[in-house]
Amino acid sequence: MTFESLQGKVCLITGGSRTLGAQICRIMAHFGAQVAINYHQSEAAAKSLRDELIDSGYKAHIVQADVTKTQDVARLVAQTIAYFGRIDILVNNVGPYVDTPFMGLAVPDFDAIINGNIRSTFLMCQRVGKTMKEQGHGKIINIAATDYKHRSHSIYGLAKHGVVYLTEALALELAPEVQVFAVAPDLIADNEDMTTELIEDAIAGTPMGRLVTRDEIAQVVAQLCTSSFEMATGQTFVLDGGRGIPRIALGK
């Protein structure tokens, strides 16, 4: 760990109670940030993570909100600012997944994935972005996925493409006070929902010979919040071990 401390920064992470969101909370706290953990339904997990961080000497607070709802977003942001005084860093981690082919995709699933990925990111960026502009600084990190580059992952890829588009558009609107980035991981090694066959196929196609971990993704999120990236904005940082590099088969 060589990059600078985030001491005193206030970081709000949506969907922060479990899996990747929880690891981002841990890493941000480890490097000094005060962490606001948003959860929707996983209250027990959020409380457990909060207690874990506090017991380790970090500052953490939990706020329940459905970030697809305008009123909930307003309350989440207001309660976070009321507790910590400001928001310096926003991580939009909420992003539900469905891989049903479009021809068989139920409309409620379409709406849920679009709302959970694009609408939530838009609402949070709009509300927090205004506050950050007013205070004169801020960092927003949107969690995308390499699916945004593919055409084989149903509505999830379309939704993540929207997250990347929002990242670029909002980077222009919120500059120069606020920087906006996206982090797009490929398949995550510690994702319990993947089959052995899927993992083996993915590793076989990855030049680095393994899959990215939640910890590595969280480390990149934290790094983007330091002064090392002050001259960058609107970029999507892909963490796929080279899997997405175009290749051609060379004949003998």
The catalytic residue positions are: 156
Closest by alpha carbon to 38, among 85, 87, 109? 87
Q: Quick one: pLDDT band at residue 2, thresholds 50, 70, 90?
A: very low
Quickly name the fold that domain 10-239 has: Rossmann fold (3.40.50)
**pLDDT digits over 205-239, tens only?**
999 999 999 999 999 999 999 999 999 999 999 99
Put the strands of the sheet holding 34-39 in their side by side order.
60-64, 34-39, 10-13, 89-92, 138-143, 178-185, 236-239
Closest by alpha carbon to 118, among 79, 144, 98? 144
Q: Quick one: pLDDT band at residue 250, thresholds 50, 70, 90?
A: low
**pLDDT digits over 41-72, tens only?**
999 999 999 999 999 999 999 999 999 999 99
Q: Would you call the peptide bond into 176 cis, given omega within 30 degrees of 0 as the criterion?
A: yes
Predicted model pTM: 0.95
Check: CB of residue 111 under 8 Å from CB of residue 39: no
Share of the chain above pLDDT 90, in %: 90
φ/ψ region of 17 (left if φ > 0, alpha if ψ in -120 to 50, else beta) reads alpha
pLDDT above 80 for 172: yes
Look up residue 212 and give its DSSP letter.
B
**pLDDT digits over 3-27, tens only?**
578 999 999 999 999 999 999 999 9
Biggest CA pair distance of the chain: 67
Distance of alpha carbon 240 from alpha carbon 252, whole angstroms: 29
Distance of alpha carbon 236 from alpha carbon 145, whole angstroms: 10
Closest by alpha carbon to 138, among 149, 148, 125? 125
